[in-house]
């Protein structure tokens, strides 16, 4: 064997040994993880649907892992401030991000974001999909979606609809409703869904399209009117409310929720967290989500990554076509 061959053999041997060592450490880390509480960042204020589902998930995943998942609300910057904390965190899975589809769409509407969704985060799992409700203030006195459309046509640009954040599923759905009904709806940005729902109930705004969970209690108590849901079928928790597609054929919208970690999160940790999510979604959490009009998610991390990429492509086209920007 030549000196060159011997040197190359040594290099390959050292490389193989190093890879084996890294793999062993990674497996050991996954076996003992988590050894301390895990922080889950929710980048919007408490009280909205995102926060409620995130806390539900944190509790159930914590039970699966035998360690607390502590939720920390870090609102601001259209969700960017909290997400950036995770982007800059160590890839040890002790700082995670729970967010809605706004996470992948909002950056498309902003001039500058300090991270890239596709390269600075690791998709872990799809938690749920949330059909939206078209909730209308009682001050309008409308009884159904058709009467709202009639009123909107008679008052172009005079009805204010809240959006929990620019580029959110609710925002994009509001744009789609505008297009489908040939109406003009003014958009009013809020820092989260909780404050927006408060103003809707108080009559400061005329409408709000957001996940059903946020509006159902107010609809039942008569504090506002849900005139439609954006699912393909009527929801079990709102059987009296027709789908929007019953009035506007093929009209559908949904928000979705997921869990991410920083980039370069070890695969073994991703697999362990993903398995915990799937088990959580088979617990009583599943029935609670369904009762709230939310569809449980699940699947592998790879499934979630593809789902995310597909949504970026679809939503990106609408944002570009309508020139939706935060500034």
Which tens digits make up the pLDDT trace of 118-165? Answer: 999 999 999 999 999 999 999 999 999 999 999 999 999 999 999 988
212-220 and 49-65 are packed helices; what angle lies between their axes, rounded to 10 degrees? 120
List, by residue range, all CATH 3.40.190.10 domains of the chain: 131-246
Residue length, the chain? 327
With a cut of 60, say whether residue 3 has pLDDT above it. no
Q: How far apart are CA 10 and CA 173, in angstroms?
A: 60
Say whether pLDDT at 274 is over 90.
yes
Report the pLDDT value the prediction gives residue 92, as an integer from 0 to 100: 97
pTM for this prediction: 0.82
What is the per-residue DSSP string for 249-283?
TT---EEEEEEEEETT--HHHHHHHHHHHHHHTTS
Section 105-111 average pLDDT: 91
Q: Please give the structure tokens belonging to residue 33.
A: 């993880």
What residue spans in the chain does CATH classification 3.40.190.150 cover?
33-129+255-322
Q: Does the domain formed by 131-246 have CATH 3.40.630.30?
A: no
More confident residue, 256 or 16: 256
pLDDT band with cut points at 50, 70 and 90 for residue 29: confident
17: pLDDT confidence band, cut at 50, 70 and 90?
very low
Q: What number does CATH give the domain 33-129+255-322?
A: 3.40.190.150
What is the Cα–Cα distance from 323 to 313, expressed in whole angstroms?
15
Provide the 10 A C-beta neighbour count for residue 160. 17
Angle at 295 between CA 291 and CA 301, to 5 degrees: 140
Token code pair at residue 295: 């569809």
Mean pLDDT, the chain, integer: 90
Give me 170's structure tokens: 């609710």
Sequence-separated (6 or more) residues with CB below 8 Å from residue 204:
none
Cis peptide before 24 (omega within 30 of 0): no
Cα separations (Å) of 6 from 1, 12, 60? 6, 10, 54
Query: What digits encode the pLDDT tens for the residues 226-267?
Result: 999 999 999 988 999 999 999 999 999 999 999 999 999 999
Q: Tell me what pLDDT residue 1 has.
A: 53
User: CA-to-CA distance for 248 and 315, rounded, in angstroms?
Assistant: 20
- Distance, in Å, from the CA atom of 327 to the CA atom of 312, rounded to the nearest integer, reads 20
pLDDT score recorded for residue 22: 44
pLDDT at position 6: 47
- State pLDDT tens for residues 166-216: 888 999 999 999 999 999 999 999 877 888 999 999 999 999 999 898 899
CA neighbours closer than 13 Å in the CB half-sphere of residue 254: 17
56 Cβ contact partners less than 8 Å away, ≥ 6 residues apart: 285, 288, 289
> What's the CA angle centered on 291, arms 70 and 209, to 5 degrees?
80
pLDDT of the residue at 69: 97
66: pLDDT strictly greater than 80:
yes
Q: Which residues, including other chains, have CB under 8 Å from residue 68's CB and lie 6 or more apart?
A: 37, 38, 62
């Amino acid at each position: 064997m030549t000196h060159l061959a011997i040197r190359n053999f040594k290099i390959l041997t050292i490389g193989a040994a190093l890879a084996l060592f890294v793999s062993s450490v990674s497996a050991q880390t996954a076996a003992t993880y988590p050894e301390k509480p895990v922080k889950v960042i929710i980048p919007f204020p408490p009280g909205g649907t995102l926060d409620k589902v995130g806390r539900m998930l944190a509790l159930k995943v914590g039970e699966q892992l035998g360690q607390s998942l502590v939720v920390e609300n870090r609102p601001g910057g259209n969700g960017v401030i909290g997400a950036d904390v995770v982007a800059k965190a160590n890839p040890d899975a002790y700082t995670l991000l729970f967010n809605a589809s706004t996470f992948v769409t909002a950056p498309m509407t902003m001039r500058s974001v300090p991270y890239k969704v596709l390269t600075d985060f690791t998709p872990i799992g799809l938690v749920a999909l949330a059909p939206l409700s078209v909730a209308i203030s009682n001050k309008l006195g409308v009884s159904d979606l058709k009467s709202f459309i009639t009123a909107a046509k008679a008052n172009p640009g005079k009805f204010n609809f809240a959006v929990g954040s620019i580029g959110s599923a609710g925002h994009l759905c509001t744009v789609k409703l505008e297009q489908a009904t040939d109406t003009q709806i003014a958009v009013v940005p809020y820092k989260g869904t909780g404050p927006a729902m408060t103003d809707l109930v108080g009559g400061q705004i005329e409408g709000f399209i957001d996940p059903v969970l946020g509006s159902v209690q107010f609809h039942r108590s008569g504090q506002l009117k849900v005139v439609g849901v954006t699912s393909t079928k009527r929801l079990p928790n709102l059987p009296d409310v027709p789908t929007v597609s019953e009035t506007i054929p093929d009209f559908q919208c949904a928000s979705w929720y997921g869990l991410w970690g920083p980039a370069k999160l070890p695969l073994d940790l991703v697999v362990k967290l993903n398995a915990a999510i799937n088990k959580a979604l088979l617990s009583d959490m599943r029935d609670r989500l369904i009762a709230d009009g939310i569809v449980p998610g699940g699947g592998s991390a790879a499934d979630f990554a593809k789902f995310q990429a597909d949504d970026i492509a679809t939503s990106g086209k609408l944002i570009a076509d309508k020139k939706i920007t935060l500034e």
